[in-house]
Chain A
Amino acid sequence: MEIWLLWTLIKCARLPPPPPDLEKGVSRQRGKGKGIPIPANSKSSPIFFDRKQCGAVVNLDRLLHAESYSRSEATKAKYAVLESLYFPHDNSEAALRPFTSPLIAFAAMLCLERKGTAIYAPIFLFPPKIAKLQFSVRLTGFHMMLVDLHRYLGLTEDQKKTQEPWFE
């Protein structure tokens, strides 16, 4: 699921940004005589990135395509993407308009049926996907906490493996 999410984000970051009207939620007012009508079937990016998220995704894309590939740098970039995605600095916009959150937009895209004639997948298939995303969020949060704790305790690489008082 993490690979799926990251690869989708990378592909979306290469696309032109979504229309500003769509980002402002004008499409919600379509049909009510308010705002500017948004043409349906847009082929722009369905995922809205803030500045930090966009920078992290572009950086990961650049590192993955670099000729002098560094696995450690790419791993750090991957964590940076997930942290900016799961724990954004400012979540107020997503609270007002949920689909401005990349994670929510990706989850909404997972509702689409990829085979057959049905538009949406059965709802019974969706909770496992949400569970995987939730597990990924928790795992990333745990990693963030661990990194901060190591930094706070000032542990070296060797000490990290041996001196971990909060571990059993």
Chain B
Amino acid sequence: MNKSKDAAHRQKPPRGQAVLSNCPIQTFSYHSKAAKYFKVFGPAAVTFTGAPTGCTDICSDRGVSRLCQRKMDTLGPVPKPSETPIGGRDVRAVMTFYRDTSIERFLGDFDRQHLLSLLSLPFLNAWDLDPALRRLYNIVAESFTSDCEQVYNAATALRFAIMDCTPYVIIRSLYLYI
């Protein structure tokens, strides 16, 4: 009985075939409170059988396998099936991820180079910088600094209620977030 379970556990899905059924996609919505804005398409069971390599995009198999590897590195080595408490199955093999392809569909409606040109930001110290952008940089830097100063001086309870951060984070943000 155990032998058959071990054999079934070791059996890998056909290479490249189990991409959609076992593909755990973790989008950025997982990392933010904006998750409520994103539709998800139900949980998908993760199997640590390895995924075929592919390009490095957010929905690629390589990205998925790297996510799984990080989870495994955090949780430690997977025990043998006979040592696991739930019917020979490792509970960590059914961690829930969500597949969200809405970003791909949204971005697919537009020309990629067009989107990249919209995202491009000139080097802010360039001598031929657009004067409007230089003005924008000045007002954003000034207002951002003054806002951070006000938050820094605010009462602790207020600071944690609104900003949810320590003064150190605010000081660091002056260098990083602007």
Q: What is the interface of chain A, defined by CB distance below 8 A to chain B?
A: 1-4, 6-8, 10-12, 22, 27-28, 38, 40-44, 46, 61, 64-65, 69, 71, 74-75, 78-79, 94-95, 98-99, 101, 104-105, 107-114, 117-124, 126-127, 130, 132, 134-136, 138-143, 145-146, 166-168
Contacts and interface: CB of A to CB of B under 8 A. Distances in A.
Majority SS of interface residues in chain A?
Answer: helix
B136 interface: yes
Interface residues of B, number: 66
A64 B20 CA distance: 48
A50 to B, nearest CB: 16
28 contacts: A8-B118, A27-B106, A28-B105, A43-B111, A43-B114, A46-B118, A61-B132, A64-B135, A65-B132, A71-B135, A71-B142, A74-B139, A99-B102, A107-B34, A108-B103, A108-B106, A109-B115, A112-B112, A117-B55, A118-B56, A119-B55, A119-B112, A121-B58, A123-B28, A124-B66, A139-B148, A139-B151, A166-B154
Nearest to A39: B109
Interface stretch (B7-15, B45-53, B75-83, B156-164): B156-164
B155 A105 contact: no
A7 B116 contact: no
A98 B103 CA distance: 10
B147 A143 contact: yes
